Amino acid sequence: MKTNFGQRLPLLLKSALLLGSSLMLAGQAGAAEAYTERALRNYDTYCVQCHGINRNGRGINSRDMSVQPRDHSDAKGMGDIPNEEIFRVIKEGGLAVNKSVLMPAWGNVMNDEEIRELVAYLRFVCKCGSTN
Ligand code: HEC
């Protein structure tokens, strides 16, 4: 399924407002959490070229990469990664969690709050809770 989360956001926000709760997304059983506009913007700026416009690991860079970027829409694969590991891999890069150096570190680009927001956004994208 081709889904552009960037385009879906306004619709989701509108339906959330219609239902009178902007935390509707967070309320769904074991699934999505609320996320910020800033997280969406940061993803579309810094992550999309590898992880893809559809968040499935098929960004324009991925074709020539020896290690394929993680499919962020994969509930099983992402569900196996604890929040703190996701935070760490974004902040310190792939090597910090024994993954590929092809996953860059973003600690000099984003502050901790922005990274936490990205973790929440990734939980929304994978529609999976965290294991801890
Ligand atoms: C230059 C390409 C590239 C960019 C840009 C990039 N990533 Fe990655 N990312 C990768 C690759 C490659 C992997 C797979 C590493 C592996 O499996 O060894 C990965 C893996 C991950 C993982 C899974 C880590 C794990 O423990 O399995 C997460 C989460 C992630 N990236 C988040 C992000 C976020 C958020 C951004 C933007 C801030 C981003 N990535 C930007 C290439 C990239």
- For residue 22, tell me if it sits in a domain: no
**Which residue range forms the structural domain that includes residue 89?**
5-14+27-126
Predicted structure pTM score: 0.82
Please give the distance, rounded to the nearest whole angstrom, from the Cα atom of residue 70 to the centre of ligand 1: 6
1-47, pLDDT tens digit by residue?
Answer: 555 555 554 544 444 444 433 344 444 444 445 899 999 999 999 99
Per the structure, how many domains does the chain have? 1
CATH number at residue 112: 1.10.760.10
What sign for the dihedral angle of Cα 42, 44, 45, 47? positive
Return the percentage of the chain with pLDDT > 90, whole number: 71
Considering the chain, what is the average pLDDT of its residues?
Answer: 83
Please choose from 50, 73, 74, 86 the residue to mutate so as to test ligand 1's pocket, defined by most ligand atoms within 8 A of CB. 50
**Does residue 115 lie within any of the structural domains?**
yes
The answer to whether the CB of 73 falls within 8 A of the CB of 55 is yes
> Distance from the CA of 69 to the center of ligand 1, in angstroms?
5
